[in-house]
Chains A and B, each alone.
Chain A
């Protein structure tokens, strides 16, 4: 059951929402993570389970990556889970493995692009299912032109390299 939600602006282009859910705290990260982002108020979550939701992160730059890596390194004793990671976060997880730290990645959005109309859409995929050998759909139906020609934008093995 959800309890109190707190919204914490850290600057004009990033904030996060905290919600208590059963035995964990869910933190929705929203906006641009960069050198101005301050995660220090989240350090009170040390030693407790935290679920970070990345769905609404719109951009992260290299200083933002460093800020994040240093933050989760300090979040000692916590069980961390990442959910709904968009492609821009998956890219960081593949390029900078310390971005994940000791966290478990639960789900990621896989990007698809339509051969017919160039429409793009993301499909949420369970990383646990993928690790168990669950197939990644090679094609899906385009919600724009309804063709069945929507293909994954990239290579599944490379995209899920972080899940090794």
Chain B
């Protein structure tokens, strides 16, 4: 189920500095696919990993994604969504009433609904599943959730096998959500409200997206504990692959 790491296109440019989430979103909206906010700038070890990945034309694996204790679950039906999220929280030993439990619940809910309702398209290119319908995914469409906790934070990833998430869509999403403060932030068409990625970006410390038109989208997130949380320290990295290359 892992996405191929070879032959990825790495979208550039990258930005390293000290940003607010709003400033970062503006940079992403204007084409920055790799962004690190850190007080140590280019000396940050995550920045080095990103630059190595760009140089080597592969996607990066960050230390916050790696643990011997990573758990896995599959989601096969929209009806099972809430039960699955509860199971993740239970295995992470989190109550949904806690601050971290709320962050994980909200982020997982948004990532799963994006995968179920937006990743899979019919032969005409239209979204296959409708938001208000109960959806049973095909076996090849099941969604993989990975998660673990460490003393410094919580890891969560969601992988679907859909059409991929273009960087243009990411840019448009950030433009809409951050450029306005009125109702135009919200998509009014039937389907999603278009706030999911915005919500996750606001909640997570680190986000990595790998989109592959033939293999789907993997979104990985890291949530720092209150003791290690620093609002100036976060990252966003988008990698796009193409099997034809």
Q: Measuring CB to CB, which residues of chain A are less than 8 angstroms from any residue of chain B?
A: 13, 32, 35-36, 58-59, 61-63, 65-66, 69, 73, 87-88, 91, 95-98, 111, 113, 115, 120, 153, 155, 158
Given contacts A63-B192, A111-B99, contact A96 B113 (CB under 8 A): no
Can you name the residue of chain B whose Cβ is closest to the Cβ of A36? B132
Quick check: which of B28-36, B44-52, B103-111, B161-169 contacts chain A, the rest being far away? B103-111
CA distance A96 to B105 in the complex (A): 19
**Cross-chain contact B110 with A87 (CB below 8 angstroms):** no
Given contacts A63-B192, A63-B193, contact A58 B109 (CB under 8 A): no
Give the one of B82, B105, B110, B226 with max A CB within 10 A.
B226
**Cross-chain contact A59 with B105 (CB below 8 angstroms):** yes
CB distance from A159 to the nearest CB of B (A): 12
**Cross-chain contact B183 with A98 (CB below 8 angstroms):** yes
**Cross-chain contact B198 with A95 (CB below 8 angstroms):** yes
- Identify whether the interface residues of B are mostly helix, strand, loop, or mixed: loop
**Cross-chain contact B98 with A96 (CB below 8 angstroms):** no
**Cross-chain contact A153 with B110 (CB below 8 angstroms):** no
- CB-CB under 8 A from A120, the residues of chain B are 98-99
List 26 A-B residue pairs with CB atoms under 8 Å apart, sorted by A's residue number: A36-B132, A58-B97, A59-B96, A59-B102, A62-B193, A62-B195, A62-B199, A63-B131, A63-B193, A65-B186, A65-B193, A66-B186, A66-B193, A73-B183, A87-B99, A87-B102, A91-B202, A95-B199, A96-B185, A97-B181, A97-B182, A98-B181, A98-B183, A113-B99, A115-B227, A155-B231
- CB-CB under 8 A from B181, the residues of chain A are 97-98
- CB-CB under 8 A from A96, the residues of chain B are 185-186, 195
- CB-CB under 8 A from B227, the residues of chain A are 115
Can you name the residue of chain B whose Cβ is closest to the Cβ of A88? B102
**Cross-chain contact B186 with A153 (CB below 8 angstroms):** no
- CB-CB under 8 A from A35, the residues of chain B are 131-132
Given contacts A59-B105, A88-B106, contact A95 B113 (CB under 8 A): no
Which B residues between 184 and 240 are near A, CB-CB below 8 angstroms? 185-188, 192-196, 198-199, 202, 226-227, 231
- CB-CB under 8 A from A58, the residues of chain B are 96-97
CA distance A153 to B231 in the complex (A): 12
Task: Number of B interface residues at 8 Å Cβ cutoff, please give it.
Answer: 31
- CB-CB under 8 A from A13, the residues of chain B are 82
Which B residues between 102 and 154 are near A, CB-CB below 8 angstroms? 102, 105-106, 109-110, 113, 131-132
Residue among A36, A59, A62, A153 making CB contact with B192, cutoff 8 Å: A62
Give the one of A13, A65, A87, A95 with max B CB within 10 A.
A95
CB distance from B54 to the nearest CB of A (A): 31
**Cross-chain contact B132 with A62 (CB below 8 angstroms):** no
CA distance A32 to B196 in the complex (A): 16
- CB-CB under 8 A from B132, the residues of chain A are 35-36
- CB-CB under 8 A from B188, the residues of chain A are 66
CB distance from B96 to the nearest CB of A (A): 7
- CB-CB under 8 A from A97, the residues of chain B are 181-182
- CB-CB under 8 A from A115, the residues of chain B are 227
CA distance A120 to B225 in the complex (A): 12
CB distance from B35 to the nearest CB of A (A): 19
